[in-house]
Structure 1
Amino acid sequence: MKRRGLSLFAILLLPVFIFLSKITTVQAADSDTKATHPTTQEVFQGAPPCLKLEDYFEKVDTYQGTTAVSNSVQILKATDSGYPSDIIRLTNGNNQVGSVWGKANSTSTTDTNYNYNYLDLSKDQEISGWIYIGDSDAYGKTGDGLALVLQNDARGINAISTYNWSVLFQNKSKAVGGETLGVWGGVDSPTDISNTTKFAQGAIQNSLAIEFDSYRNETKSAILSSQDNYFDALTDSTNVLEAKGEHIAWNYPGEASTYERFSYSLGSYFGMHHKDSIHNLTIAGYDGTPEIDRAWHHFTFKYTKPETSGGTTAKMSYIFNDKNYDGSVRPFSKWDKRENISIDLNKFNLNSGQTKIRWGFTGGTGSPDSKVADNSIILEKIPAVANVLSATSLFDITQNREILDLDQNPTADSKVNNNDQLRFDYDLNYDSGLSKTGNITTELNLPTYVDFTQNDDGIGKIIYTDEDGNEISNDIPDSALTSDKTTLNLTLNSMDLTNKKIKIELYGYAKAPDSETANVITVPQAHTSYQSDHYTGDVMSPQFEIDNESLNLTATSDTNQEIIESQSTTLSGLANYLKGSTFDGNGLSVHAKIDDGDEVIWNDISTTAGDKEAIISKELTGKYLGVGNHKIDVYLTDSSRRISNTITYNIQVIERKLELTPQDEEITVNDNKPVTITGNYNYSDDSGFQNDTATITYQITNEGEDSQESVTTTISQEVDAKKGSAKISLDPIALNKATDISLDDYLKTNNVGLKEGKNEITMVVSDTADNPSNKVTFVVNVPKMEPLITTKDSQLYSLGMFPIEIPLTFEYPTTAETNNYQLSSNDLELNSTIDGVTYRSKPAMNGDIENPYAWNPIVELNDLGIKELDKTTYTVKLYVTDPYGRKSNELTYQIDFNLKGAEVLVDDSSFKTIDPKTFETGYVARNNDWNVKVRSYNSKWKLNASGTKLQNTIGNKDTDLNMFYVDEYSATSLLNDPQIASDDQTNSGNQVFDISGNWNHDEGILLKTDSVPEAGDYQGKITWSIDDSI
C-alpha cells in the first residue's frame, strides 16, 4: 500500500509540470493559428448548403449516472446563429462527450409511432453531409473525432459510452469521452476491468459505429498515465497496424470481440479492433492550404438492404472527401472509400418484425495530448426526412448505347464520336421520407464540347412521374440557359410520395474542337447542385471522350438510276477517314434503310489494316426492290462505332411483266389425237428474253374432279427475242395406256391427260425462275359419247391356232356435237373376255379409217385369251375402248375351230411396167407385192393356181398376155391350172409356208408376152385352190 501511495504522489507531481509546459506552448501555437488559420466562426460562416434540421433530431441535456455529465451537443439553427446552414456542434471543449439522435417520434399528437427520423433496415438508405473537426496545432495535435452510430440500445437517446466502476462496494458510473468518441467502451483512469465482455458493456449496446478518428490513441496505461489511451495500437495477424494516422473504420461497439485486454501491475488497458480502415487521412485540419473551402470534409454513408426479405446480412459503404467545397463531386479515383461491406443485422438484437432503428452522431474530447477541437456536422441528406436517390447517365442516341462514366469506370469504352446525338439524364427518385423536399433549385452546369442546340421543343424536358406511374413532361426552353450558354437554372417541383420521380433529359451533339488531325478529347464531369429545404444533393455528369475522327462515305456509282424489274444494279462507294486515319483491319458494316423502312445491316466489308480507303459494293435486284421509286439510305459503321455520313440512292424500278396470251382459249376436239394448246408470251416493256430456255407449268382439271398434278416442261427460245410461243401437247387420258393394265385401274393412278367433258388447263410461263407470267386458262371440250360396235357374223370358223379375223364395225354416234368425229390408226383397244377373264390387245387398224369403220381386226388367239385348243368351240365377249377411255357396247362371238386342214392366203399382186424402149420378148418380172402363203394345221396339202389372160382395163379387150408358172424344169400356163406347191407331211400344230417368198426373180408366176402391148393398164385373175385331202 505504501508503494502504491508513493506512486500516486509521483503521478500528481508530474502533471503539474506538464500542464505548465503545455500552457506555454499551446498559447504560442494558438497565436500562430489565429494569424494563419480561419477561426471556427469563420468556418461556420462559410458552411456549405445543407437541409434544415427543424425538429428531426433530439438529445438529452445530461447523461445520468453517479456522476452527471453534460451532453456537449449544440444545434445551431441558421435562423438563430446567423450562419448560412444548420450546424450540429458535438463538442467544443476539453473532456467533453456528446450525442445527438434522429427523433424517433413526431411531436404531433396523432403521430406517436416510431416512424420519424429513423433508419429503416428494410430499405436502401443514405446519409451524407460535411464534418469539421478543427485543425491541428503547431505540434500536429488534433481533436479526437466523432462517430456515425446506428443503434438499438434500450437507453434510446440516453445511450452513451459509460465508465462503470466500484468504490467501497458502491457502483459508480458516468459518461466518458476521449478515445471512446462517445460510443465505444472506455475507462477514465487505470482500473482493473477483468474482461472484454465487461468492458464492452460500457459501450452503446446493439450498435454499429463508423468512427472518424482524428487522433491516434496508442499509449499504454502506465504508472504515470492518467487515462487509457491504446485503442488505435492493435496490429493484425501480419503485425500491421489496424489503424494508421487519422483514420475511418468501423466495428460493433457492444461486442466483446471488438476489444482486446492487456494487463499490467496496476490494472489493465484495452485496444480496439478496426474493420476496413481508411488510413492516414486529413480529417482534422485542411486539405492543403488553411482556407475555409478546405476545412469542411464531405462524407457519404450508404446502406443496402439484404438481398432477400427477412435476410440478416446487409451491405454498407462509406466515402470520405467525395465532394469539393462547391458541391462538385471529386474524381472517383480520389475518393477515400470502403464499399460493399457485409454487416450482421443480428448485432442490433431486433424485436420480431422490427426494421427501424435509431441513428445519430457521437463525439468526445479529452484523450491525452489531444487538442481541444470542434466536432461539427452539417447534413445534406438524411433517409427518413427525404430519402432522395440521385443519379446521372449518358446515352449515345446515335450509337444506341449507354456511355459509362469514365471516372468510375476507367477501363470502359466511354468514347462517343464527333456529331453523335447525346442524351444526358439527371434522375431524382423520392424513395421514402416524412417530409416533402420543397421546391428544388437546380443549377446544372452543362458539359463542355456538347452543342445543346434547341429544337422546336427546347433543349430538353423535365419528366415528373407520380405514384401511379403517370408522367407529365415539360419542355425546357432555351431561355433557361445563362447568357454564356454554360449553365441551366431550373426550379423543380417539390418531391414526395405523390411526386416520386423527376427526370431531366438534355439533348445535344458531341462537338470536338476544330482540328486538322485525329485525336480524342476528354470531356470532364460537370457539376449539378440540388437545393431545397429538406434535400440537398450534388451530382456530376459522366466523364467521357469524343473521338474527332469522322468516317466518310462517297458514292462512286450514280445515285439516281433506272432499272427494269428483272435487272440488278450495284450501289458502290468509297470509304475513308476525313482526318487521314487508316483502317484498323476490323472491317466496316454497311447499314441501309429502304423507303424509310426498318434499318438492316446489308453486309460487312473487310478492310486492310493501314489502308486509307475501302471499296463499298452492294448488288440489288429490281425484283427485290419491287416496281416503283425507291429511296435507299446507306451509311457505314466501323469497329470504333463511328458512323459515316448517309448517302441516298434513288432507284426507279420499271415494271417488266412476262405477259402470256392464249391463242385459242377454247377447243372442241373431233378426234383422239393429242391436243395442242398455244400461248404467246412477251415482256410488257418489249425487252428481249434473257435465257435460251423457258419453262411451262400447266395443270388439268376435269369437270367434277380434283385437279391433276401440275406438270413443268422446258421449251427453247431465242435469247434477246421479244416474242415466244408456249405450246403444250395434251394427250387423251388413256392414249398411252399399256395393254397389261385395265382401263379402270389405269384411271385410278395419277396420270395426266384429257378426259371426256370439259377440261380446264391453266398455263404459266417463266423466262427465269423468279419471273413467272400471268396465269391463263384454256378449255378443251371432249365430246361425251358411247361408241357402238356391230358385226355381220357372230359365228366364226378358224383353222387351228392361226390368227382369226373378227368381223367388227366401230362407230361413233353422229350428233350435232360429234359430227365428223375422226378415228386414227391405233386408236382402238380390243377387250375380250373368255371364261370370265378379260384380255386386251391392239390389233392393227388397216384400210380406210373412217366413221363408221369396218375394222375386222385380225387377232392372235393368244390375245383373245385362247392359249391352246382344248376344245373346238369358244364363246368370246368383246368390247372396244378409245384413248379417252370411252367404252363401247359388248358383242358375243362363237368361234368353231378346225383341228386339221390347210388354207391359202394371198393379196392382190402386180407385174412390172413394160417399157417399149427396153422391151425384149419373154417374161415380165413381178413387183414386190406378191404375198402367197399356205397355212396348215395337222394336214398334208397341194396348191394349184389357174388364171386368165390379162385384159386391157379399157374396154376389157383380150390380149396375148398370159401368166405362166416357171420353175427350173418347165413353164406352165396358168390356163392349165398347174400345181404350184405341196406338202405331203402331216405336221402337228401350225405351219406357215411362204410360197412367193421362196421364188427367185426368174421363177414362180411370171407374165409372158411376145410383143409390146398397147399402152394401158391390164388386169387378170388368179384362182388359188388348195387340196388338204391328199
Structure 2
Amino acid sequence: MKKRWLWLMGMMAIWGLGTGIVVARASDTAVTNNLPNSFAINGIFNTTSTITGATNNATLVASNHGLQITDNQAGQNGAAWSTSDNKFDLSKNGRFSMWLYMGKNGATKSGQGMAFVMQNASATGFTNFPSSKQPAGQSLGVWGVAYNQLATDASAIAASAIPKSWALEFDEQVNDSRVGGDNDSFDYEFIYSDLQHVGSNYPAETATYVRHGSSDGGGKYFYNVAHKGAFETTLSDGAWHHLTLDWTAPTGTSNTGTMTYTLGDKNPDTGAAQTPTNTKTVEVDLSKLGINATDSTKQVYWGFTGTTGSQYANNVVAFEHIPGLVNASSTVAVTDTTTGKTITDGDSVNGNDDLTYTYKLNYDGGNQNWQNIEAQLPKPNGVSFSAGTITYADGSTEALSSSELSASSVAHTLAKSLSTANASATIKLTGKADAVTTDTTVNSTTSYFNGSNEINSVTTPSYTIYPAQQWVLALSSGSTASVQPGESVDVAGGVSMDGGTADTTTNDQITMHASLDNGHTIDDFTLNGSASDPDAHGAFHLTIPADKLTTGTNNLTLYATDDRGNKSNTVPVTITVSGTLAFKQVNPESSFTTTQLTGTSALIGRASDWDVSVDNGMGKGSTWAVTAKASDFTEKLTSAKLAGEAVWVDSQGNQHSLSQSQVVASGTNTAASQTTDIIDGWGSEGGVMLKVNSDALEGDYQGTITWTLSNTVS
C-alpha cells in the first residue's frame, strides 16, 4: 500500500509541474452508435441542470435513445433528472430496466463513474463543489466533497451533497488516498482490492462519511463513504452491463422500503437472461429523503450524475423500462402440436413435428399506451414457419406476410397500440421442425418487442430436433377375438423400425398405449416381451381381463410411442363377447292351490310345484325380461270356461290380466353370468295367481301360460 501511495504522490508532483500529461488511451466514443435495444427518451429527462462553476455535459445521443452522462474527455460533470411528469412514486412497487456503459480501460484508466440517484430536493441537483480548481471528482456529482483535512466531522461534506437523496454508485476509480483534504479518499475501504465497485447510501447524511486520521497525522483527517450493499466488480471493460432496479414500497405505517439492484442479469451480446454477476438488496428510509409515512405523495426526482477527472470514460445509459411510463410484460411458449408437449429448455422434438411459437404481450398500465411495437423474432435454426397471426384483446387480427415469415428474423410492427382498452396481443407462429438426419440443437434466441416507450424481451427455449423414427406395430395374435362372458383376452405383437433402420432402442424406451371404446381404461405399459420370453426385444403381450369387456363388440386400439415422442401406426382389434340367454328351468306342469269356492270372488295362490328360472350369460351389465300370457282356463271333462282368469299381481298389489302379455320379471347382470329364480322373487303375495269370480263353478280347470324371454327390458 505504501508503494502505491508513493506512486500516486509522484504522479501528483508531475501534474503539479504543469506538464499537462494525461495517460494515453483509445477512444470509445463510437459506443453511442451501437446501443442495445432501447427506446427514445425524448421528454423523459432534463439535461439542462445548472452545475455551479462548470458545464453540464449530460446529453441525449444516438437519436435520443442513449443518455450520455460524461463523454470521452477529462474534467466532465453530468447530471440528468426526470421531468416533473416522470417522477418516481415511492409508494408503489416499481422496476427500472436499463443498460450501462462505463468505458473500456479498466479501473486505473477510466473515469470516476456515475450514480443512479433518487432525490426530493429540487428539479435539478449536483454536488456543490467549491470551484473549477477543486472539482467534484470522487463525489460523482452526488456525494459531498472533502477538501478540508482539518474537519473534525463530516457535516460540511454532507452539506455539499445533493440534499434528501439516495444514491447507487457505479465507481470506476478506487479513491483510496489517506492524505486528507484532497477529495480522494471515499473508497478507502477498497484500498486492498483496487477493484471497481457498486454501493449505496444517503449522500446528505453525516453518518454516511467515516472519519480516519490522515497519514500526515497532527489532527488531520480523511473520510470515506460507508458503502451499503457493496460489491466489487468489473465495470469499465468495453461491454454493456444490464441493470435491473426493483423497488418494494413500504407497507402499512412503515416508512422503509427496499431497493434490489441486480447487475449483469442479461447477456450483452444476445440480450438473453442469464445468472446475474451481482445482486444486493438494501433498505431505503424515506425519511432521509424528506418523506413521511403519512405524506399524501411520495414522488421523487430520479436520474444520473457522473464525473471524470484526468482519466475519463464514456458513461452512457440506455433504457428498456421506466416505471410508471408503460408497465408491460411478455411471455413465450413453444408447443410440439404433434405430441401436445410444451417444450422447455433441454427438451426434444422429432423431425417434421408441427411446432407453434406463441408470444403473449400484456399491457399492465402506465401513463402512456404501449406504442409503435415492433416485434423482432429471430427464427430458430431448424424450424420453418408457414403462418403467423396476431390476435388482439379486442378480437381483431392481422396476418404476417410470407416474406416476413421467411426472413432470418421475423420483424413486424403491430398495427395497434396496447392500452387498458386493448390490453394484449398474441403472436402465433406455426411451422415444422426440419426433417433432420442427425441430432440438431435449436439454439435459444431472444425476441424483442421494441415500442417507442417500452422495451420487452423474452427468451425461447433451447431444445434438440431428433431424426424422425417411424415405428410399425403388428399383431401376432390376430385382429379379432371371440370369447365367452367371464373370459379374458390375450393380445400379442411387436414393434419394429420401418425402412430397415437399425433399432437400437431397449424395450423400456417403447410405450404401448391401449384403449377400449366401452368406457373401461387400460394403463400404458412399456414393451414387456412375449408371454414365454419377457426379454424378447420389440415384443409385447397384453391380457384384457374379463371385467373390462362387455357383451357384444369391444373395439380395442393399440399404438406405440418411443421416449422421443415418435408414434407408430394405430392397430385395431375387435373383441366379441358372446353368451347365451335362456330359461334354465320351466316346469311343464304347475298348479294353483286347491280352493273351496265360497260364492265370492277370490285370488288363488300358486302351489309349490312352480319353477321358472333364467340363465343370463351375456356379460356384466346385460339385461333381460320375461313376459307371461295365459289362455282361458277350462274344465277338463266338460270344457266349460272358468268364470275367472290368470292375473299378474305386481309389487304394489295391482292386478293385471294375463290375457295380454305382461312383464313379470326383469334383471341386469352384476356379473358376467348369473342365474335368477323368478318364482322366488315374487314372494307369496305377488306374481302369477288365479282370479276366480263369485259365480265360478266347482271343477278341475286347466290352461296354458306362455313364458317369453328377451334380452331387453320392455
Measured against the shorter chain, the TM-score band is: 0.7 to 0.9
In structure 2, the residue matched to 1:89 is: 68
In structure 1, the residue matched to 2:248 is: 305
Shift of 1:548: 5.4
Contact 1:764 1:776 in 2 (8 A): no
Structure 1 residues 617 and 266, CA gap change in structure 2 (3 angstroms):
same
Q: Secondary structure at the match of 1:481?
A: helix
1:360 pairs with 2:303: yes
In structure 2, the residue matched to 1:228 is: 183
The whole-number CA distance in structure 2 between the counterparts of 1:618 and 1:706 is: 47
1:769 pairs with 2:694: no
Structure 1 residues 184 and 56, CA gap change in structure 2 (3 angstroms):
same
In structure 2, the residue matched to 1:124 is: 94
**Correspondence 1:599-678 to 2 at 5 A:** 602-605=523-526, 613=538, 615-619=540-544, 624=549, 627-628=552-553, 630=555, 632-636=557-561, 638=563, 642=565, 644-651=567-574, 653=576, 656=579, 658-660=581-583, 669=592, 671=594, 673-678=607-612
- Find 1:556's aligned residue among 451, 475, 481: 475
Shift of 1:474: 4.4
- Find 1:329's aligned residue among 264, 268, 271: 271
Shift of 1:444: 0.9
The whole-number CA distance in structure 2 between the counterparts of 1:147 and 1:682 is: 90
Shift of 1:19: 4.5
The whole-number CA distance in structure 1 between the counterparts of 2:9 and 2:186 is: 24
Residue deviations 1:450-486, cap 9 Å, x none?
Answer: 354x3xxxx3432322xxxx55454545443135xx3
**Correspondence 1:180-259 to 2 at 5 A:** 180-187=139-146, 189-196=147-154, 199-221=157-179, 227-234=182-189, 244-259=194-209
Shift of 1:541: 1.6
In structure 2, the residue matched to 1:72 is: 56
Structure 1 residues 670 and 428, CA gap change in structure 2 (3 angstroms):
closer
1:480 pairs with 2:404: yes
Residue deviations 1:392-439, cap 9 Å, x none?
Answer: 3444556666544x4xxxxxx645566665443323222333223322
Structure 1 residues 529 and 627, CA gap change in structure 2 (3 angstroms):
same
Q: What amino acid is aligned across from residue 381 of structure 1 in structure 2?
A: H
The whole-number CA distance in structure 2 between the counterparts of 1:274 and 1:607 is: 66
Contact 1:437 1:494 in 2 (8 A): yes
Structure 1 residues 157 and 783, CA gap change in structure 2 (3 angstroms):
closer
Shift of 1:219: 1.9
Q: What amino acid is aligned across from residue 143 of structure 2 in structure 1?
A: W
**Correspondence 1:146-157 to 2 at 5 A:** 146-151=114-119, 153=120, 155-157=121-123
Q: Secondary structure at the match of 1:218?
A: coil
* Greater Cα shift, 776-785 or 263-272: 776-785
The whole-number CA distance in structure 2 between the counterparts of 1:704 and 1:629 is: 37
The whole-number CA distance in structure 2 between the counterparts of 1:160 and 1:636 is: 69
Structure 1 residues 657 and 759, CA gap change in structure 2 (3 angstroms):
closer
Shift of 1:361: 0.8
Contact 2:507 2:537 in 1 (8 A): no
The whole-number CA distance in structure 1 between the counterparts of 2:246 and 2:476 is: 62
Shift of 1:499: 2.6
Q: Secondary structure at the match of 2:423?
A: strand
Contact 2:516 2:522 in 1 (8 A): no
Q: Secondary structure at the match of 1:162?
A: coil
In structure 2, the residue matched to 1:350 is: 291
Report sequence identity in percent.
21
Contact 1:759 1:780 in 2 (8 A): no
In structure 1, the residue matched to 2:700 is: 820
Shift of 1:819: 1.7
1:272 pairs with 2:225: yes
Structure 1 residues 306 and 385, CA gap change in structure 2 (3 angstroms):
closer
Contact 1:764 1:775 in 2 (8 A): no
Contact 1:300 1:320 in 2 (8 A): yes
- Find 2:417's aligned residue among 486, 494, 506: 494
The whole-number CA distance in structure 2 between the counterparts of 1:696 and 1:184 is: 99
Residue deviations 1:229-283, cap 9 Å, x none?
Answer: 1222315xxxx96x752333334434455432112336321222334445341x3
1:62 pairs with 2:14: no
Q: Secondary structure at the match of 2:540?
A: strand
The whole-number CA distance in structure 2 between the counterparts of 1:175 and 1:424 is: 59
In structure 2, the residue matched to 1:703 is: 649
Q: Secondary structure at the match of 2:221?
A: strand
The whole-number CA distance in structure 2 between the counterparts of 1:71 and 1:349 is: 28
* Greater Cα shift, 305-314 or 199-208: 305-314
Contact 1:73 1:88 in 2 (8 A): no
Contact 1:660 1:776 in 2 (8 A): no
Contact 2:15 2:21 in 1 (8 A): no
The whole-number CA distance in structure 1 between the counterparts of 2:484 and 2:134 is: 96
**Correspondence 1:780-795 to 2 at 5 A:** 780-782=688-690
Q: What amino acid is aligned across from residue 424 of structure 1 in structure 2?
A: Y
Gaps of at least 5 residues in structure 1 are 1-10, 78-82, 106-115, 165-171, 288-296, 407-412, 708-757, 786-813, 823-1030
Structure 1 residues 604 and 783, CA gap change in structure 2 (3 angstroms):
same
Q: CA RMSD in A?
A: 4.9
Structure 1 residues 307 and 190, CA gap change in structure 2 (3 angstroms):
closer
Contact 2:353 2:432 in 1 (8 A): yes
In structure 1, the residue matched to 2:643 is: none
Q: Secondary structure at the match of 1:363?
A: strand
1:52 pairs with 2:40: yes
Structure 1 residues 531 and 178, CA gap change in structure 2 (3 angstroms):
same
Q: Secondary structure at the match of 2:42?
A: coil
In structure 2, the residue matched to 1:854 is: none
In structure 2, the residue matched to 1:338 is: 279
Greater gyration radius: 1
- The total of aligned residue pairs comes to 634
Shift of 1:145: 1.2
- Find 2:105's aligned residue among 136, 143, 148: 136
In structure 1, the residue matched to 2:492 is: 572
Structure 1 residues 475 and 395, CA gap change in structure 2 (3 angstroms):
same
In structure 1, the residue matched to 2:327 is: 387
The whole-number CA distance in structure 1 between the counterparts of 2:615 and 2:264 is: 87
The whole-number CA distance in structure 1 between the counterparts of 2:194 and 2:76 is: 24
Shift of 1:381: 2.9
1:532 pairs with 2:413: no
Q: What amino acid is aligned across from residue 700 of structure 2 in structure 1?
A: N
Q: Secondary structure at the match of 1:444?
A: strand
- Find 2:80's aligned residue among 84, 97, 100: 100
Q: Secondary structure at the match of 1:362?
A: strand
Q: What amino acid is aligned across from residue 182 of structure 1 in structure 2?
A: G
Q: Secondary structure at the match of 2:189?
A: coil
Contact 1:658 1:773 in 2 (8 A): no
Q: Secondary structure at the match of 1:322?
A: coil
- Find 2:462's aligned residue among 524, 531, 543: 543
Higher relative contact order (CA 8 A, sep 6+): 2
Contact 1:659 1:774 in 2 (8 A): no
